[in-house]
Homo-oligomer: A and B are copies of this chain.
Amino acid sequence: MRMGLGRSVDYKKELEKAAKTMILVHEPDALIKMIVRMLVQKVRITHAGILLHDKARDTYILTVSKGAAGFKIPAGFARIDSDNPLVRFFKEGPDKKYFSEGVIIYGEAKKTAVSKGAEPRLRELAAKVAYQMEIYEAVACIPTYFRDELLGILLLGGKKSGGPFSRDELSFFMALASDVAMGIRNAQLFRELELELDKRKRLFINTTVALAAAIDAKDHYTHGHTARVTNLSLEIAQRLKNRNKYAINDKAMEDLQIASLLHDIGKIGIPESILNKEGSLNEEEHKKMREHPILGVTIIQAIKELEDAVMGVKYHHERFDGLGYPEGLKGENIPLIAAIISVADSYDAMTTDRPYRPAMQKDAALAEIKRLSGLQFNPRIVEIMAELSREDRL
């Protein structure tokens, strides 16, 4: 039913297409800027803006094109409250007698402000609306709603060719504003969910870090051990990943982080008398101590999402030559996550004081790690340790 000729139809089609594609673009800021820029270029108006509802704060935030004339938002008007005349006008429902099709045209607002036929309240509001439009240098304001909410207001500057907007143009802008506002709201909802997800990830990691550190603190001689092992493990994994030695995705990195944090969690089940014993352990005590990987598994194995991380806890005392515990796994049969933690754990143990011996120097510890390559440790990981040492990153 819509008719149009030449360029008028072209810009409509282009804008309609852009508005539709927006659905799957989930970056609100980029989106708003793109649409405002397209409006100015395609419709050939001096400038355009969108006042968009920020639901959480119940304010309307303006995004505006610089426009051909270099239009700037006046200070203090980049954000307006929901009791701003412009917002109130659309929320209370514009009076059809004075504002056709629910759109505000600057000229009509000015006229209504002095119309003898209008109620004093409407006259006053219209005057305020007109003043607000002067601030934005807006010729037309087009509202867009979703359900009962005023989602946003599209502000249009004047046509570059001069002359008023036609009714046909305005009704096109109304449809467009609705698409745009919904696209933007959709992107915002997406963004909110993503932020919430990030927050959750942080909360989980931070809580695990805090609890692991607290458990760490029980063992007087290993203060900060868990944090150091975790950092070193992640650095090793990052380098293995860069070298494409193993396929390590984001999930694997996170599993490694959790497993490193929790690798000694089973020590909760070891009596303090053994944990903090000065001098070496007797055979009985040693046996008890060697239960800690399995005790750790017992604690977290019910958590389905941690099933890969559990491998790191369970096997971090296995040896490359198969002489480790609890199962005597050998070589590449030891899960990579555990092989990494094993090296990081041993290196940190060597370089810190223990009840039965003082800390080794870094160089001596690295030499020991190298000596045990292929015996206790996976040679590929030992290589990375050597690389880290050369770069003074140990």
Please give the residue numbers on chain A whose beta carbons come within 8 Å of chain B beta carbons, in ascending order: 1-4, 9, 20-21, 23-24, 26, 146, 178-179, 182-183, 185-186, 189-190, 193-194, 196-197, 199-204, 206-208, 210-211, 213-215, 217-218, 265, 268-269, 271-272, 299-300, 302-303, 305-306
Inside 8 A of A269's CB, which chain B residues have their CB?
Answer: 214, 217-218
Nearest CB of chain B from residue A334's CB, rounded to whole Å: 24
Q: How far is the CB of A186 from chain B (nearest CB, A)?
A: 5
Which B residues are CB-close (under 8 A) to A178?
Answer: 20
- With a 10 A CB-CB cut-off, give which of A3, A199, A201, A211 has the most chain B CB atoms: A211
- In the A-B complex, list the 8 residue pairs whose CB atoms are closest, starting with the nearest: A200-B200, A204-B204, A214-B299, A203-B305, A193-B193, A206-B303, A23-B182, A214-B268
A207 to B194, CA, bound (A): 22
Contact with A200, one of B23, B204, B218 (Cβ below 8 angstroms): B204
A207 to B205, CA, bound (A): 10
Evaluate contact between A182 and B20: CB separation under 8 angstroms: yes
CA distance A303 to B207 in the complex (A): 7
Give Cα A20–Cα B19 distance, bound, in whole angstroms. 10
Name which residue of chain B comes closest to A151, CB basis. Answer: B24
Q: Which residues of chain B have C-beta atoms less than 8 A from A268's C-beta?
A: 214-215, 217-218
- List 19 additional A-B contacts (Cβ < 8 Å) besides A1-B4, A20-B179: A1-B9, A20-B178, A23-B186, A24-B146, A24-B182, A24-B186, A26-B189, A189-B190, A193-B194, A197-B200, A200-B201, A200-B204, A204-B207, A207-B208, A207-B300, A214-B268, A214-B269, A214-B299, A217-B269
* A185-B26 Cα distance, complex, nearest whole Å: 12
Are A306 and B215 in contact (CB-based, < 8 A)?
Answer: no
Q: How far is the CA of A210 from the CA of B297 in the complex (A)?
A: 11
Instruction: Check A305 against B199 for contact (C-beta < 8 Å).
Output: yes
The A interface is mostly helix, strand or loop, or mixed, namely: helix
Closest to A213 in B: B299
Query: Measured between alpha carbons, how far is A300 from B209 in the docked complex, in Å?
Result: 10
A15 to B242, CA, bound (A): 50
A199: chain B residues at CB < 8 Å are 305
A-B contact list, 7 entries, CB within 8 Å: A24-B186, A206-B305, A211-B265, A211-B299, A213-B299, A217-B268, A217-B269
Contact indicator A183/B272 (Cβ below 8 Å) = no
Assembled-state Cα–Cα distance A182/B179 (Å): 13
A303 & B20 in contact (Cβ 8 Å cutoff): no
> Given the complex of chains A and B, what is the CA–CA distance between A381 and B269 in angstroms?
36
A182 → chain B closest CB, angstroms = 5
Whole-angstrom distance between the alpha carbons of A36 and B20 in the complex? Answer: 20
Cβ–Cβ contact B24 & A206, under 8 A: no
A24 contact set on B, CB distance < 8 A:
146, 182, 185-186, 189
A305 contacts which chain B residues (CB < 8 A)?
199, 202-203, 206
CB contact under 8 A between A210 and B4, given known A196-B197, A199-B305, A271-B272: no
List B contacts of A271 (CB < 8 A): 272
**A203→B257 CA distance, assembly (Å):** 14
B1, A302: Cβ atoms closer than 8 Å: no
